[in-house]
Amino acid sequence: MLNPDNTFTATVLGLPRIGANRELKRAIESYWAGRLDAAGLHQVARELRTTQLTAARDAGLDSIPVGTFSYYDQVLDTAVLLGALPQRVAGIADELDRYFAAARGNAEVAPLEMTKWFDTNYHYLVPELAADTVFSLHPDKPLTELKEALALDVPARPVIVGPITFLKLAKSVDGSDLLNRLPDLLPLYEQLLGLLAEAGATWVQIDEPSLVTDLTAAEFDAVRTTYQRLSEVSARPSILVATYFGRVGAALSALADTAIEGIAVDLVAGGDADVAAAQSITDKLIVAGVVDGHNVWRVDPDHALPRLTGLRDAGVRVAVSSSCSLLHVPYSLDPETDLDARLRSWLAFGAEKIAEIRVLATALTAGEAAVAGDLEIARTAVLDRKADPRLKVQAVRDRLAALDADAARRTPADERRVLQQERLNLPLLPTTTIGSYPQTSRIRVARAELRRGEIDQAEYDVRMRAEIAEVIALQEEIGLDVLVHGEPERNDMVQYFAEQLDGFAATVNGWVQSYGTRCVRPPIVYGDVVRPAVMTVDWITYAQSLTDKPVKGMLTGPVTILAWSFIRDDQPLADTARQIALAIRDETVDLETAGIGIIQVDEPALRELLPLRKADQAAYLEWAVEAFRLSTAGVADTTQIHTHLCYSEFGEVIGAIAGLDADVTSIEAARSHMEVLDDLNAAGFDLGVGPGVYDIHSPRVPGAEEIEQSLSRALKAVPAERLWVNPDCGLKTRRTDEVTASLRNLVAAAKALR
């Protein structure tokens, strides 16, 4: 029988793992490079866990997630737990090597595919399952980490990915319905619950973020039967099923029908309907995610506390929590001493969020007076943020309000095509690249020297110009038709613009894991967006001055800038998007005025921001497309607008791609074998298109014949007048020799077909 007093009041749903100073990233990369052995890597990992768990305990959390640590990814860890790694890595004897081979491949085997974790910028590895996958339990990791935490006197709550989410996120390699595999997985979960209880766990957290997506009737049934069945295990910890990243809706009542002990709900993303529904669940612990684990803003106590007390007064047992794992926010504000003090006071990163949760939990249990000082500070910050003039720049708002529908519209595409062709006089099947050229060691050295103050900005600019000159010369020599400047001056395609726009702030150490050892430092959009000065014109006009061929201006689109930033939570995303769109629009006009005839506005993240629930998707696509069009419709008909899309299955956004109305769209297709062209045709797309014919994700140099074949296939779907020839993404991760050889073949293929 479960102890009815087995409860807690303050927790988070998961902890970050990369290390406050990216220690784990460095250790893993050293291990890969052979500079650190497995024992050394495990030692670093143990130390990181120890520091973090004891810090969370000392900060006053009375239940702490354990097992959210990972060497690469929690979904891959779950595949290991369930014995579900693909056959092709099974032969690798060493456990760590096998794990990393599944994660990133090696000379012999391809890795698992990687894709976005719900609506975050974290990417997980996609398990490959089939009707005949044989599952088996390998509980070493959760058990070891549990024991380690208990030995530290940490109130540990093991966390595992739930069976429904695991199956829904996996890829069916034989086309079979993976939900049918649930009966084979459940005995393993039952066994694991027993083992965890035996090892001393009083609670277990089973993550089911999939429950915030649209579920079928069969899936709702699966929720009920799965959790009813797991609740019937005789000796087990109390079960907390964690949902997050959206409103849980009907799945909440499915969970409430079962005999589990707790449910975590994301009240930040979920909203009032979920709060109301949770109020009737009086026989379970409701872990109320009122502190945003997905964004960096300080919680408003006057928003969170009424929800918490409302639940309590309805007779619900409540614990205060982050809305999701803290994996998605930086560790701590401590290193951010460069941030504007006012802005800093509005923010909460991981450590600060834990403190907020403790304060709210105390206010809830002991009354506001017990934490009056902390609440006062929080309220002052929230009010100060609302009052800051940078959040409401009237000029931008007036300008947006005054725009008419025509601002986002160009003349019909076929008229533009004629005018642009007159101006540009391009050959049939024009060749081009996506923007970046290899990030050479010279570029990295210059950046490091600038950062360390060893060279000044002027010297840095001289060196970047030299890179540009080299890239232009290389492209001329290869014989490409539309050139790019190579983007050497850009650290990152979003950060580069964020640094130059008002309303954005950058952090010095605000790293979050993107995948594996790759971390990103998303900028923070905190205010109205204004472009105080031109951003790219000098670089592009310099590049254009070196050649008679057209050089593309290169910008990042509003949706992608938003998708890779921490966003404002005080106004609709669409409003922020329109402001960024205006800034990009002004830049396109300035490029045009400076004589640039082709401008590319990249939107690789168009698919990324697509809402998890179908019902919300159309509204998103409408404002996303509108923002892109606003960005690009300020130029004359003779200026050719390009866009670039990648990283995704385009199925759900194919109609929106047509809606962008870009004169030319370069789109990742090298790996999806051109199917995307048929999809575009079906959506009525009739603009210029460059399906990628060179897979830049691989070091392999494609032969001219192979590229010719790809193009011939493309010509079956697209008339030659509309077809462009280009790689499937930017070249910055490749080596110069690979790129040179591949582009020579690409040009040769285009010439042969002409």
Residue 219 partner contact from ligand GLN, Zn ion, none using kind-dependent CB cut-offs of 5 to 8 Å: none
Ramachandran class of 408: left when φ > 0, alpha when ψ lies in -120 to 50, beta otherwise: alpha
- Alpha carbons within 13 angstroms on the beta-carbon side of residue 241 total 29
Candidates 120-128, 332-340, 477-485, 646-654; binding stretch for Zn ion (CB under 5 A): 646-654
Radius of gyration of the chain (CA): 27
Q: How far apart are CA 381 and CA 252, in angstroms?
A: 34
Q: What is the rounded CA–CA span in Å between residue 49 and residue 65?
A: 11
Residues in a beta bridge with 688? 664
At residue 19, what are phi and psi to the nearest 5 degrees? Answer: 100, 140
| Rounded distance between C-alpha atoms, residue 714 and residue 754, angstroms | 14
**Residues 490-529, mask of contacts with ligand GLN (x by CB under 6 A):** ---x------------------------------------
Q: CB of 302: closest distance to ligand GLN in angstroms?
A: 40
User: Is residue 731 close enough to count as binding Zn ion by CB under 5 A?
Assistant: no
Pairing between strand 524-530 and 502-505? antiparallel
Catalytic residue among 42, 303, 328, 697: 697
- E strand or H helix at 232: none
**Site of tokens 């619950």:** 193
Say whether residue 657 binds ligand GLN (CB under 6 A): no
Per-residue tokens: 694: 């060179």
Compare residues 45 and 624 and give the one whose CB is closer to ligand GLN: 624
In single-letter form, the type of residue at position 533 comes to A
Return the one option of ligand GLN, Zn ion, none that residue 328 interacts with (CB less than 5 to 8 A, by type). Answer: none
Query: Closer to ligand GLN at the Cβ: 247 or 732?
Result: 732
Rule CB under 6 A: is residue 646 a binding residue for ligand GLN?
A: yes
Return d(Cα 38, Cα 752) in angstroms, integer. Answer: 52
Q: In terms of CB distance, is 351 or 563 closer to ligand GLN?
A: 563
Bridging pattern class, strands 238-242 and 171-172: unpaired
Question: Contact letters (x/-) for Zn ion, 588-607, by CB under 5 A?
Answer: ----------------x---
697 is catalytic: yes
Q: Is 262 in the site for ligand GLN (CB under 6 A)?
A: no
Residue 435 binding ligand GLN, by CB under 6 A? yes
CA torsion through residues 7, 11, 12, 14, sign:
negative
Q: How far is the CB of 610 from Zn ion (least distance, A)?
A: 17
Which residue, 433 or 639, has its beta carbon nearer to ligand GLN? 433
Judged by CB under 5 A, the residue of 76, 348, 627, 646 near Zn ion is: 646
Instruction: Between 602 and 679, name the residue whose CB sits nearer to ligand GLN.
Output: 602
Q: Which is nearer to ligand GLN, 123 or 732 (CB)?
A: 732
Closer Cβ to ligand GLN, 323 or 439, answer by number: 439
Residues 718-747 that bind ligand GLN (CB under 6 A): 729-730, 732
489 makes contact with ligand GLN (CB under 6 A): no
d(CA 524, CA 503): 8
Piece of the chain touching ligand GLN by CB under 6 A; list 174-182, 347-355, 428-436, 738-746: 428-436
Number of residues that bind ligand GLN (CB under 6 A): 13
Q: Which does 262 bind (CB under 5 to 8 A by kind): ligand GLN, Zn ion, none?
A: none
- Nearest-approach distance from CB 647 to ligand GLN, in angstroms: 7
Specify the stretch interacting with ligand GLN by CB under 6 A; choose among 18-26, 275-283, 431-439, 516-524: 431-439
The structure tokens listed for 526 are: 């905190």
- Residues 601-620 touching ligand GLN, rule: CB under 6 A, are 602, 604
Question: Among candidates 125, 106, 108, which has minimal Cα distance to 117?
Answer: 125
Between residues 55 and 746, which has the closer beta carbon with respect to ligand GLN?
A: 746
In the bound complex, what is the minimum distance in angstroms from residue 168's beta carbon to ligand GLN? Answer: 27
- The sheet that has 64-66: what strands, in order across it? 64-66, 156-161, 203-207, 238-242, 262-266, 285-291, 317-322
Choices 4-12, 147-155, 413-421, 643-651; region in contact with Zn ion by CB under 5 A: 643-651
Residue 696 is a binding residue for Zn ion (CB under 5 A): no
Residue 624 sits in the site that holds Zn ion (CB under 5 A): no
The C-alpha atoms of residue 754 and residue 751 are separated, in whole angstroms, by: 5
Q: Are 61 and 10 in contact (CB under 8 A)?
A: yes
Q: Which residue is nearest to ligand GLN (CB)?
A: 730
How many residues line the site for Zn ion (CB under 5 A)? 3
| Token pair recorded at residue 225 | 């039967």
State how far the Cα of 115 lies from the Cα of 522, in Å rounded to an integer: 19
Q: Does 729 bind Zn ion (CB under 5 A)?
A: yes
Q: Work out what residue 352 binds among ligand GLN, Zn ion, none; the CB cut-off runs from 5 to 8 Å by kind.
A: none
> What's the closest the beta carbon of residue 113 comes to ligand GLN, in angstroms?
18
Contact range with Zn ion by CB under 5 A, out of 264-272, 286-294, 377-385, 638-646: 638-646
**Interface stretch with ligand GLN, choices 124-132, 283-291, 429-437, 542-550 (CB under 6 A):** 429-437
Q: Give whichever of 61 and 739 is closer to ligand GLN, judged by the CB atom.
A: 739
Q: Which is nearer to ligand GLN, 434 or 559 (CB)?
A: 434
Rule CB under 5 A: say whether 625 interacts with Zn ion.
Answer: no
629 binds ligand GLN (CB under 6 A): no
Decide whether 75 or 434 has the Cβ nearer to ligand GLN.
434
> Helices 614-632 and 573-593 meet at what angle, rounded to 10?
20
Longest dimension (CA), the chain: 81
Q: Which two tokens stand for residue 314?
A: 């309805």
Residue 646 vs 748, nearer CB to Zn ion: 646
- Are 293 and 320 in contact by the 8 Å Cβ rule? The answer is no
Q: Does 664 bind ligand GLN (CB under 6 A)?
A: no
41, interface contact from ligand GLN, Zn ion, none, CB < 5-8 Å by kind: none
Tell me how far, at minimum, the Cβ of 213 lies from ligand GLN, in Å: 26
Spatial CA neighbour of 545 closest among 533, 554, 537, 535: 537
* Smallest separation (angstroms) from Zn ion to the CB of 152: 44
Helix axes of 140-151 and 38-58: crossing angle, nearest 10 degrees: 50
Q: Give the three-state DSSP class for 516.
A: coil
Residues 6+ apart with CB under 8 A from 13: 65, 159, 205, 207, 242, 244, 264, 287, 289, 293, 321, 322, 323, 324, 325, 326
Q: Alpha-carbon dihedral of residues 125, 127, 128, 130, nearest 10 degrees?
A: -160
Distance CA 527, CA 502 (A): 8
Cα(123)–Cα(111) distance, integer angstroms: 14
CB of 724 to Zn ion, least distance (A): 14
Beta strand segments in 429-570, E = 502-505, 512-515, 518-520, 524-530, 552-556
* Footprint on residues 667-686 left by Zn ion (CB under 5 A): none
Cα 301 to Cα 120: distance, rounded to the nearest angstrom:
25
Q: Between residue 541 and residue 600, which ones bind ligand GLN under the rule CB under 6 A?
A: 554
Active site residues: 697
Contact residues toward ligand GLN (CB under 6 A) are: 434-436, 487, 493, 554, 602, 604, 644, 646, 729-730, 732
Contact residues toward Zn ion (CB under 5 A) are: 604, 646, 729
